[in-house]
Amino acid sequence: MQISWRIGCLAAILLAVAILPASSQRGPTVILAQDELPDEETPGVVPQQEEASPQFQKQVVFFRSNEEPGTLIIHTSERFLYLVMGNNRALRYGVGVGRDGFTWMGLHKITRKAEWPDWRPPPEMIERQPYLPRFMAGGPGNPLGARALYIGTTIYRIHGTNQPHTIGHAVSSGCFRMVNNDVVDLFDRVPVGTRVIVKHAPAM
C-alpha cells in the first residue's frame, strides 16, 4: 500500500507540472521596440525582419556618372550605395550610415574582403563604450553580418547586419551596413582594389 501511495503522489505531481501554462515554464520574453535603433556596436541582436524596407531593396536604376564601371559610390544623405554599371545605370543598394558626428566623405579602395568576419571593436569604440566585448567570432549574431569589405586604411567597412530594420537610417559609427543578402551579392561582384567614393550630397 505504501508503494502504491507513493506512485499515486508522483503521478499527481507530474500531472500538475504538465498542465502549467507554457509561460510559467520558461524565462521572460524580451521584445525590442521597433523605434529603437541600436548602434553599430550592439552585438547579438535578433533581426526583427528579414529584409529592408521596399525603397531600400536592391534594384537597377538610372544613374549618371563619369566613374568607371565597377566603382562604388555611397551617398550618405540618400542612404544608398551605387555600383556603377555604365550606360547611365547602376545597381543600387540601401545602406545604414553613420549617425550624427560619425559621417565622413572621401576617396578610397577596398583593401580587404572577409566572409563571416570576426569583430574586434577599435580602441575608439571601446573608449566610448567600455562594456563592449574585445572580440566576437563571426556568425549570425555578429554585428558585421555575413560579409565585410574593408575601406582603405580606415576603421570603416561595408558590412552585413543582423539588424535589417536599421537600413536607411543613420545609426552606425561610420561604417555602411547592408542586409546580409545584399552584402553577399556585392561581395561577389567587386574585387579588392575597387574604387570607393563616399559623398554626402545627393546623386544627380
The catalytic site residues sit at: 159, 175
Instruction: Output phi, psi for 92, to 5 deg.
Output: -105, 135
Instruction: Tell how far CA 198 is from the center of its chain.
Output: 19
Instruction: Tell how far CA 32 is from the center of its chain.
Output: 16
Contact between 141 and 119 (Cβ < 8 Å): no
Strands (E) located in 51-192 = 59-62, 72-75, 80-86, 89-94, 97-98, 106-115, 147-151, 157-159, 170-172, 176-177
